[in-house]
């Protein structure tokens, strides 16, 4: 289920998970995702890694935010989310990390499938 992918143009593994996740979810380049997020962050007076900055880019592109049910808030992992969501495009927020799920596959630079998502963004088709 995990697909290793790094959209960073020079394959850096820096604190750019939100940029990578937005790039994958919107099917755009890392550079374009960075520019969109940085523009929104500047307008908001915040930093690009802020949830509000990258979340606003998703919202502007038709995504809606959802909350992961807290029936088992310490045991529902990204792996479980992938099983429960075999179709569609989702961006998972883990608190200090962000990753994309497309058709049940977790796309990230590292295997974050056992991280606990707190919320997600999805696009209604």
Question: Tens digit of pLDDT for each residue in 13-30?
Answer: 888 999 999 999 999 999
Q: C-alpha 64: how far from its chain's center? A: 12
Q: Is the pLDDT of residue 96 over 80?
A: yes
Question: Tens digit of pLDDT for each residue in 40-61?
Answer: 999 999 999 899 999 999 999 9
Structure tokens at 42: 């500047």
Q: Which domain holds residue 39?
A: 2-123
How many structural domains compose the chain? 1
To 5 degrees, how large is the angle CA 17–CA 2–CA 69?
75
The pLDDT assigned to 125 comes to 66
The pLDDT assigned to 8 comes to 92
Compute the average pLDDT of residues 84-99. 95
Percent of all residues in the chain with a pLDDT value above 70, rounded to a whole number: 98
């Amino acid at each position: 289920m995990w697909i290793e992918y790094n959209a960073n143009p020079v394959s850096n593994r820096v604190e750019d998970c939100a940029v990578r996740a937005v790039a994958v979810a919107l099917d755009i380049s890392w550079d374009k995702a960075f520019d969109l997020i940085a523009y929104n962050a500047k307008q908001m007076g915040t930093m690009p890694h802020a949830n509000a900055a990258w979340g606003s880019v998703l919202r502007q592109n038709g995504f809606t935010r959802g909350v992961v049910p807290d029936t088992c808030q310490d045991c529902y992992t990204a792996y479980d989310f992938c099983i429960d969501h075999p179709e569609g495009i989702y961006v998972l927020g883990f608190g200090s990390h962000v990753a994309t799920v497309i058709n049940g596959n977790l796309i990230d630079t590292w295997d974050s499938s056992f991280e606990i998502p707190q919320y997600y963004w999805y696009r209604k088709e």
